[in-house]
Structure formats: structure tokens, C-alpha cells
Amino acid sequence: MFNNKKNILLISLLVLFFIFSTTLPAQEDNVTEVSITLKVPAIALINFIVDGNQMITYSYSYSGPEQVEQIITPLTGDKTWLNYSSVVNEGLTNYITAHISSGTLPADVTLNVYVSSDVGSGAGLMGTSLGKITLSSYPKNIIVNIGSCYTGVGLYKGHQLTYAWKNPDSYNYELMYENGDAIAVTYTITSTE
């Protein structure tokens, strides 16, 4: 009889253990989920790459990497590539402007820049070129609707810049630059916010 009571007690404990183990929450495995939000801050970088030994110099402005200045002369042609990287906040875009930041064009001389479409070496939402722009001392848009993207870095990446000097046939514009004068064009990438 003692064995029977022992068996009943053992069975009762097993039944209770089974009931509690199915109704109490238990950890099923060693996996848990945590929500993480990653936010990349908005940033814009711009750079020139020059092919060959043209009389072109460029430097970063004191304003930071969102602005570059290019010194150009009548020998400047079509060997400059404009590269950029851009991260924008939702609903915003960046754009690039250009203007003559120092130097003076002789009377009746104009300076145009033609900005090609992006050549497709990078990734993301590249900007749209506005084509040929006549440069002045006032900043003009040259590339608009830039999303989060990068053009790649180097020659034949991004947008090719082609400069064209328009002057009267009788004007010898090269004499002006032999005396050390030059035109500086500043390119700036800015957010629409």
C-alpha cells in the first residue's frame, strides 16, 4: 500500500508539473529581437578631376567640402570632371550652382559651361544637368534634383564640364591672361531645405 501511495504522489506531481509547464511562459530559445533605427546624416561633397596638363587649378574653399573653386583660362577646355556624393533627408534634394567668384571678363566676352549628363559610373539618384549655362557673378543652377547618390571618383565619372569662350573676332583675349589675370569659377552643392 505504501508503494501505491508513493506512485499516486509521483503521478500527481508529474501531472501538476505538466500543467504548470504548459501554462507558464518559458523561454523557447536563445533569440530575442531588438528594433534598431539607423540614420545617416545629410552630407554633400563635391570635387574636380582634371585630365591632362591643362592650365586648370582647383582648391577647396574655406567653407568646406561642399564648395570648390576652379581657376580657368581660355586654354581650359573639356577635360574637367565634376564628382559628388550626396545623402539627403527624406523629401529633400541637393543642387549645384556655379558662378564667377573672382576675376573679370573683358567687355563683350562671355564664358559658358556645358555640363554633361552623369555618365552612370556611380549609384543612386543622380542630378539632372541643365546643359549650357552662361556664367556670371551670380550663382546659377547647373545640376538639380540630386538625391542620395555618389558619382564615383575620378576621370570619366560624374559630369563632364566643357568651357566655351565667346568673344569678338578682333579681341585677343590671351593677352589678358599672359599678365596673370584669370577667372575663378566656384561650384557649390547645397540642399533645398
Report how far apart, in Å, the C-alpha atoms of 167 and of each of 57, 75, 108, 111 are.
23, 14, 6, 9
Comparing CA positions, the residue from 47, 49, 53, 61 lying closest to residue 96 is 47
Domain boundaries, the chain: 43-191
- Residue type at 48? F
pLDDT of residue 33: 83
Question: pLDDT digit string (tens) for 29-42?
Answer: 777 788 887 777 78
pLDDT of residue 55: 46
**Nearest-5° Cα angle at 165, 162 to 169:** 145
Return the biggest CA–CA distance within the chain: 129
9 is written with which cell numbers?
504522489
Question: pLDDT digit string (tens) for 110-137?
Answer: 899 999 999 999 999 999 999 999 999 9
All residue ranges of the chain with pLDDT < 50 are 1, 54-55, 59-62
pLDDT of residue 40: 74
